[in-house]
Amino acid sequence: MTRRRRSSIDIDLALINVQLLNLGRKSDDFQRIIDDLQRMKDEIDIERKSLSAKQSELQAAKEPINWLPTELLIQIFVTLAESELDRRDSTYRPSLVISHTCAKWRAIALGTPELWSRVILHGFRKHELGQLYLTRSGRSPLEIDYCTAPDTFPTTECLQVADLVVRSKPHFARLTTLSMQTKAAIPLVYLLPTLNDHSKTLPQLRNLTLAILTANPTFFEVPTFLEREVDVVKELGSLDKVATSSSRLLHLKVEQLPLFNLSVNFVANLRSLELSFSPRKTGLTRHYYFLKMSTLCRFLAFTPLLEELILVDTVPYFDITLRLEDAPAASNVDPPLIEMQPVKLDHLKSMDWTYPFPTDVHRLFSMIETPELEKLDLWVEDSRSKRHDSLLAYPVVSSPHKFTRGVITFPSLRDLSLQCDGEDTTAYVLRKLNVPALQKMEFTNFDPSAPKGADEASSLPTFPRLESIFRDPRLLHLTHLTLSHYKISCELGRVDALLGYMPVLTSLSFDSCLGLGVMLDGLKETFVGTIKGGGVGGRSRRGVKVCPRLDSLSFWGCQDLDCASLRAVILSRNRSIDGFEEDNTHSEQGALAAVPDGATRGVTREAREGNASGGQTTEDARMGRKIKPLRSVRRHRPDMGQVGADVPSTIAATIITKEESFTPAHISFVRVVNCEAMEKEEVMSFRDLGVVDVIWTSSG
């Protein structure tokens, strides 16, 4: 191959250089075009995004919720999150749902720490989710709710609780509510030291729940839980001295965890206490826990500010006796008993107790004094279920020790609710309780063995006499009475004897009751008397026989309620007193004999029977049978005052009742719910009789 000359190569290079230069220029031109197009595209994208945002804003402006200011939306979101979390659905988290709805809501959610301040962890399986809530909650007050998953093994549960404590400890300073529900007792070992060091680690804690979910849990692996009470008693000595505490814990709920595993300083300022210790089976080993009455009294002694006490399916093991000077040593009794004085809770306002026996009620209040108790709710279990006596440490009848006090007085009790099984139980529970200031009372009958359906009504027990329920049946301050699942006795004078003890009753309610015809007949019964001081021939007027202040009647599921009887009651109380017809007045003059002080003389049996068909009686017969005062006790304590101290107030109440009987309150409220015989049109027609508020709901 011949070698090219340099000149030939230079020519080719010059040509290639020209071509490269031309291609470079074209490339620059194309790049300028591309840049211009990209710039135009970017401008279009920006404009499109702006228009899209404006479109979304206009679309959102059509929704009424977006008309609200951001501050109000925050309140709505926080309220929604709190209410929805109560559903106990571990997979539903409203805070996340709100943050994923739209950009505006997400911005609001991320900027609202309160939305993330309640952390619900079921098994603590998703650590990242829990950490997300802890981070987004910022510095807001924190709530942690942990519940073990049902399929969790004990070892795994311990690891989860330990991990939870470690991860949450940096945030304990702002923790206000903590709920720990575990299957076994041993996982709580990782938490109790932190709780008992509350002043340093939990300065803001106000609500605490500690629950062992397994029925009859064993403490074999943590025997120190059972020994703690003995150690506390030895350390503190006298239980009468309660040290001041800086603890902010106000509400405590304990389920099956021995009480004294919590520091006494930690619970010193409690306002609300809920305990749940299901009755234990007999024959259990020493590694199982029994809530003893001595333990309960000692624990309550360290909560002097307690205002609310709730005992859920809890009956303590009664191992104590009242301390008496002339009684033999209680340690010589088999089983040995502990001598104690009653614990006084001066601030207790409310108490709920489910499933005690009838005798348990009086026994418990014999050891707990509650002078300021205002509300008492009892759900009493029938003793026919034969709970084992030794489990309750019931003493023998011949025991020389005093296990209960006499009649217990609740001077401040205003609201009483009693749910029990059968007539006998109803008549037994409250027999040794004195409630002189009672204003609201509710009796409910429940019988789990009663037939359901059509035969349920026939098995309803008869509501007993008040004389058999209370030691003193005179309820001079009672304004509200509710009876549920009872049958009203048709015995002559039974209704008068019931309502006659309630002179200031304003509201009367019945739920699934029978025999209401008899009750309504008693409410509509009237009497005729003369105006006081009118002398002979004075103008007569008509009054109601019982409950002159009654203005509200409610009925739920009362299938024998009829409209005619209810209408008669309304007519007897809503008619104008001045509209007493002249002919009715003259027709009854023969049965009345006026005396100088304006009272009405008693009439003969024949005269009363002649007026019985018209539902009217004379003034002396108005009160039904005469209520005799109770026999005064021979011995009484000095602080109980004089035996007859309430006589003037009783006489004054009687005079007021007689005067009010001539001007009874109008029935202004009637509620009828699920009563088959009551038609809507008939019930609504009560408005024409002066009833202001009428509510009717169909049984369908």
Q: What is the pLDDT of residues 509-546, one digit of tens each?
A: 999 999 999 999 999 988 877 655 545 555 677 788 89
| Contact present, 649 and 629 (Cβ < 8 Å) | no
Task: Give the mean model confidence (pLDDT) for residues 3-30.
Answer: 90
pLDDT at site 583? 40
Q: What percent of the chain lies above the pLDDT cut of 70?
A: 76
Name the band, by pLDDT with cuts 50, 70 and 90, for residue 593.
very low
pLDDT at 170 over 60: yes
* 609 pLDDT above the threshold of 60: no
> Is 55 inside any structural domain?
yes
- Residue 333 confidence (pLDDT) above 50: yes
In a domain, 516, yes or no: no
Q: What is the mean pLDDT of the chain?
A: 80
Q: Residues 431-443: pLDDT tens digits?
A: 889 999 999 999 9
Boundary of a domain, candidates 387, 420, 436: 387
Q: Residue range 129-149: average pLDDT?
A: 90
Q: What length is written for the chain?
A: 700
pLDDT greater than 50 at residue 570: yes
* Max CA separation in the chain (angstroms): 165
Q: Are 576 and 691 in contact (CB under 8 A)?
A: no
Beta bridge pairs of residue 511: 484, 556
Confidence of residue 199 (pLDDT cuts 50, 70, 90): confident
Question: How large is the average pLDDT for residues 572-590?
Answer: 51
Task: Tell me the per-residue pLDDT of 447-499, one tens digit each, with 9 for 90 and over.
Answer: 755 555 555 566 788 998 888 898 889 999 999 999 999 999 888 888 888 89
Co-location of 71 and 126 in the same domain: no
Of 568 and 243, the one with more pLDDT? 568
Residues 341, 284 within the same domain: yes
Question: pLDDT at position 257, please?
Answer: 93
Residues 71 and 155 in one domain: no
pLDDT greater than 60 at residue 307 = yes
Instruction: Check residue 496 and give its pLDDT.
Output: 84
Indicate whether 174 and 245 sit together in one domain.
no
pLDDT in the model for residue 459: 77
Under the banding of pLDDT at 50, 70 and 90, the label for residue 592 is very low
User: Bridge partners of 529?
Assistant: 541
- Find, among 488, 493, 478, the residue nearest to 510 by Cα: 488
Query: Residue 350's pLDDT is what?
Result: 97
597 assigned to some structural domain: no
- Closest among 66, 55, 134, 67 to 101, alpha carbons compared: 66
**Cis before 335 (ω within 30):** yes
The H or E element spanning position 363 is: helix 358-367
Q: Please give the average per-residue pLDDT across 397-413, as a whole number.
A: 71
| pLDDT given at position 586 | 40
**Does 243 lie in the same domain as 316?**
yes
Among 99, 116, 133, identify where a domain stops. 116
- Within 142-292, where are the H helices? 154-168, 192-196, 198-201, 224-236
- Judge if 104 and 85 occupy the same domain: yes
* Res 597: pLDDT: 37
Q: What is the pLDDT of residue 371?
A: 95
Does residue 586 or residue 66 have the better pLDDT? Answer: 66
Q: Would residue 616 count as lying in a domain? A: no
Whether residue 111 is found in the same domain as residue 163:
no
In a domain, 208, yes or no: yes
User: In terms of pTM, does the model score above 0.85?
Assistant: no
Pairing type for strands 540-544 and 526-530 reads antiparallel
Is residue 197 situated within a structural domain?
yes
> Which pLDDT value is given to residue 81?
84
Compute the average pLDDT of residues 335-355: 89
Question: Rounded to 5, what percent of the chain is helix, strand, coil?
Answer: 40, 20, 45
Q: Report the distance separating Cα 412 and Cα 406, nearest Å.
A: 18
**Of 116, 145, 178, which closes a domain?**
116
Percent of the chain clearing pLDDT 90 (strictly above): 43
In this prediction, residues 264-270 reach a mean pLDDT of 92
Do residues 269 and 328 both lie within one domain?
yes
User: In this predicted structure, what is the pLDDT of residue 190?
Assistant: 93
Average pLDDT over residues 300-312: 95
The model's confidence at residue 16, banded by pLDDT at 50, 70 and 90, is very high
The structural domain count of the chain equals: 4
Looking at the structure, tell me whether residues 230 and 147 fall in a common domain: no
Residue 370 within any structural domain of the chain: yes
Query: Per-residue confidence at 321, pLDDT binned at 50, 70, 90?
Result: confident
- pLDDT band, residue 381 (cuts 50/70/90): confident
- Give the whole-angstrom CA distance, residue 664 versus residue 581: 18
Higher pLDDT, 244 or 13: 13
Q: What is the pLDDT of residues 623-681, one digit of tens each?
A: 444 444 454 444 444 343 333 334 444 554 555 566 788 888 999 999 999 998 899 99
Please tell me whether residues 110 and 125 are part of one structural domain: no
Give domain status of residue 224, yes or no: yes
* pLDDT tens per residue, range 204-262: 999 999 999 988 888 888 888 888 877 776 666 555 455 577 899 999 999 999 999 99
pLDDT of residue 468: 87
In which domain, by residue range, is 33 found?
16-62
Residues 243 and 346 in one domain: yes
Residues 158 and 275 in one domain: no
Dist. CA 570–CA 578, nearest whole Å = 17
Q: What is the pLDDT of residue 181?
A: 94
- C-beta atoms surrounding 81 within 10 Å: 22
